[in-house]
Amino acid sequence: MLYSEAIKYLESFVNYERISTYSYKSAFRLERMHNLLSLFDHPEKKFKSIHITGTKGKGSTSAMIFSILNEAGFSVGLYTSPHLVDFRERIRIGINRSWRNISEEEVVSLVEEIKPKIEKLKEKLSFFELYTTLAFSYFAENNLDFVVAEVGLGGRLDATNVLNPLVCGITSISFEHTDKLGNTLSAIAREKCGIIKENSLVVTSPQEKEVREVIAETCKKKNARLFEVGKNIFFEEIDFNHRREIFRIRGIFEEYSPLEMPLIGEHQLINAGVALGIIEALRYYQVYIPSEAIYEGFKKVFWPGRLEKINESPLIILDGAQNRASAHALKEAVKKYFKYKRLILVLGISKDKYIKGICEELAEIANEIILTKANNPRAEEPNFIKSEIRNPKSEIYLTKNVKEAISLAKDKAEEEDLILVTGSLFLVGEARKLFSAKVPKIHNIK
């Protein structure tokens, strides 16, 4: 089997990441996932796990934890979604303080291994269920010490919720997928809190009052111990530039200063607080992470597509701001961290997002707006996005695809301008591929 054939097989299963309208409760069933994993001798039980949910920041937080554990010398896996360019980005493995994505050959081998067993099941599986099974099988086969897993959607019914983690992390919760998770913050929080297990440890970022109440109530019911950034964990920015944050964190047990990381923005400092809280919480399981690994882990964290600078002149920034809260954080970060003459906004948004809210946040800082759509069935038409921009103060251009939008932006930009590409991770992934952004050299693991 070729890699292209393996991917084609995986893509033959229904992919809810590419569908905007479906029944949440019928599409997501944990019983089906348990049945599926039983065919592979339950790989999810063969490694210690850390489980991360939230609306925004869960991927960045997961990447920080992975980086720190890797620097501490543990063998560790990272499972995230969606990918930017290649499916293999979703499955990362770290051994001997170096890391890489799963290889094409390993994907092919796993697909060949699981395909005969899957075809015996009568139930209709989803792509995410299948790829989660593939990831957990891969991690188990590599006898990893830890796996850091990011929730795909929600938490309670997500395929990753078969895990029994040592620590659960909850990043900032805001409105998202209201047609599936609920139209109040409390309802959304209850779905997210579905990952909290009996007698576990929970670390959360600062939350709105109604979200905090749901988290606290769930922890009480589950006899889970709760640690909160802003209450038990504190951070402070020391210095910053457009390349890095320098900060300090007073954690559950110790203070670390000065820390440094290449992910910028106050929201990333909050995520760093959650990540450090989770790392320190492992002490309750007699797992002690050296402070040197914490410093190096933050310094070396790699998480592309989040305020990622890929060109200097004109300045080009990629960021996957997919809801109003993320768009607001992006807007404030751009104003704080970057100097530019004019801002050209390249914007594409998925149909199931709060388009009006995202546009209200980002149109405020744009001198020109170029609307486009990613190559994804969920992508909203540029013309509709335009109708959601109230009283536009900027010139608006419509384009058919990302390549056309980027080309137009580059034609319009002068050396002192900033091109901001945002609105959807699918859009960012396509743009990143077009720009052929450089990634750090990674040593192969034998």
- Would you state the pLDDT for residue 445? 40
pLDDT greater at residue 441 or residue 88: 88
Given pLDDT bands bounded at 50, 70 and 90, which one contains residue 75? very high
* Domain identity same for 261 and 383: no
* Domain identity same for 329 and 260: no
CATH of the domain at 231: 3.40.1190.10
Full residue range of the structural domain in which residue 428 is found: 308-435
In a domain, 334, yes or no: yes
Given pLDDT bands bounded at 50, 70 and 90, which one contains residue 28? confident
* Domain identity same for 359 and 215: no
In a domain, 123, yes or no: yes
The dihedrals phi and psi of 364, each to the nearest 5 degrees, come to -60, -30
The 10 Å Cβ neighbour count of residue 259 is 20
* Domain identity same for 254 and 313: no
The 10 Å Cβ neighbour count of residue 295 is 18
Q: Is the confidence at residue 446, as pLDDT, over 80? A: no
Question: Could you tell me where the beta strands, DSSP code E, fall in 222-283?
Answer: 225-228, 234-240, 245-250, 255-261
Which contiguous run of DSSP H or E holds residue 438?
none
Q: Which of 300, 327, 345 is the last residue of a domain?
A: 300
- Would you state the pLDDT for residue 439? 42
Q: Is the confidence at residue 219, as pLDDT, over 90? A: yes
Strands 315-319 and 308-311: antiparallel
Q: Encode pLDDT of 397-421 as tens digits.
A: 999 999 999 999 999 999 999 999 9
In a domain, 32, yes or no: yes
* Domain identity same for 110 and 258: yes
Q: Encode pLDDT of 337-370 as tens digits.
A: 999 999 999 999 999 888 999 999 999 999 999 9
Q: Which of 237, 270, 300 is the last residue of a domain?
A: 300
Strands 255-261 and 245-250: antiparallel
* Domain identity same for 39 and 71: yes
> DSSP per residue over 147-173, as a string?
EEEE-SSSSTT-GGGG---SEEEE---
* Domain identity same for 275 and 312: no
Give me the percent of the chain exceeding a pLDDT of 90: 85
- Angle (deg, nearest 10), helices 291-300 and 266-281: 150
In a domain, 440, yes or no: no
pTM for this structure?
A: 0.94
Q: Encode pLDDT of 164-205 as tens digits.
A: 999 999 999 998 877 778 889 999 999 999 999 999 999 999
Which contiguous run of DSSP H or E holds residue 88?
none
CATH of the domain at 423: 3.90.190.20
Strands 146-150 and 48-53: parallel
310: amino acid identity, one letter = I
* Domain identity same for 171 and 52: yes
- 89 to 4, 49, 402: CA distances (angstroms): 16, 19, 21
In a domain, 328, yes or no: yes
* Domain identity same for 238 and 377: no
Determine contact, residues 216/242, Cβ cutoff 8 Å: no
Q: Is the dihedral of CA 137, 142, 145, 146 positive or negative?
A: negative
- Would you state the pLDDT for residue 131? 95
Under 8 Å CB-to-CB from 426, ≥6 apart: which residues?
Answer: 82, 348, 350, 374, 375, 376, 378, 379
- 133 to 10, 66, 407: CA distances (angstroms): 12, 20, 39
Q: Work out the angle at residue 47's Cα, subtended by the Cα atoms of residues 46 and 48, and round it to the nearest 5 degrees.
A: 140
In a domain, 134, yes or no: yes
Half-sphere exposure of residue 142: CA atoms within 13 angstroms, side-chain side = 26
The 10 Å Cβ neighbour count of residue 256 is 18
Segment 119-142 mean pLDDT: 92
* Domain identity same for 58 and 39: yes
In a domain, 150, yes or no: yes
* Domain identity same for 236 and 285: yes
Segment 54-67 mean pLDDT: 96
Q: Which of 300, 323, 342 is the last residue of a domain?
A: 300
CA distance 125 to 113: 17
* Domain identity same for 59 and 109: yes
In a domain, 446, yes or no: no
For the chain, how many structural domains are there in total? 2
